[in-house]
Amino acid sequence: MSVMMARLYPLLCFILLLLPFLLGAQPQQVIYSWPMSMLGDARGSYPIALLHLAIEKSGTDYQPVPSGQVMTQHRTLRQLGSNTGLDVVWTMTSPEREQELRPIRIPIDRGLIGWRLLLIHNDNEQKIQQLDEKQLKTSPSIQGSDWPDYPILKANHFRVLGSGDFDAMFKMLQAKRIDYFPRSITEIWPELQQKTGMSLTVAPKWVLHYPAALYFFVQKDNIELANAIEIGLLRAIEDGSMQQLFLQHFSSAIQQADLKSRTVIELKNPILPAETPLQNKALWFDPQLGY
């Protein structure tokens, strides 16, 4: 061994001994189901911010990062279930989803996903306003064929078509092949801003409501990540930071929706899992309080 190597050898051994600790100190990436190319889309801003908040409050060293590509909801859930490149998704719960994935049973949007305004063509505003509840149910509408909302509307006797193409649903509305497209309070205003050239508006008078929970889901056996997110969310609820974030993102949309002046059609949700924490009123949106 040369003199130089003899001098460097202790240092190299020390670095090798420290290497596992240095690597262990690096944050573990958690890939969430929102691609880098869509980070400017307002629909993803709240769940992404809440995921970051939950991880921060959990005290763990996870690092949320966006996924690489745009995928359909069905493909996203399948990829998470097969543990191939995704760690967290946020989506509306259903028995099948809770069987295949691990839910964190805290509704991240306080159930606003189940408060549905009707997106319509400008030309149909008077027509929709003059319908009664029975007529509204028999008017053609649209939902994603793999969304939980589709069987919910079907079970409540709505004339609803299914589609696997999200953009095509707006085009069908623009072409007046359907009369309305139910969208949640949290979705409808950003989507209107994105579709400014399509002559669409929010129907007056009506709001559909059914109990629904939007959860963070992780891979079935990823108990450690699920626990971290749950602990972080509970801490954020306790210290008020989740409420602050919720109001920061949705208070304007809630005011625009003006639910107190609308006719509410209460619907049953036959696919709501029995474990949904409906009895914990602190977790759910109250239109009287605006939170």
Q: Where are the domains of the chain?
A: 26-112+213-261+272-283, 113-209
The correct answer on CATH 3.40.190.10 for the domain covering 113-209 is yes
- Residue 252: partners with Cβ closer than 8 Å, 6 or more residues away: 189
Q: Tell me: the pLDDT tens digits for 114-144?
A: 999 999 999 999 999 999 999 999 999 999 9
**Tens-place pLDDT, residues 57-111:** 999 999 999 987 777 777 888 888 887 889 999 999 999 999 999 999 999 999 9
Give the pairing type, strands 141-144 and 160-163: parallel
Superfamily of domain 26-112+213-261+272-283: Periplasmic binding protein-like II (3.40.190.10)
pLDDT > 70: what percent of the chain? 89
Which tens digit of pLDDT belongs to each residue from 216-261?
A: 999 999 999 999 999 999 999 999 999 999 999 999 999 999 999 9
Quick check: do 26-112+213-261+272-283 and 113-209 share a fold? yes
pTM score, whole prediction: 0.85
Q: For residue range 174-211, what is the model confidence (pLDDT) as tens digits? A: 999 999 999 999 999 999 998 988 999 999 999 999 99
Q: What HEC string does 209-264 produce?
A: ECCCCEEEEECCCCHHHHHHHHHHHHHHHHCCHHHHHHHHHHHHHHHHHCHHHCEE
pLDDT of residue 214: 96
Q: For the chain, how far is it from start to end, CA to CA, in angstroms?
A: 72
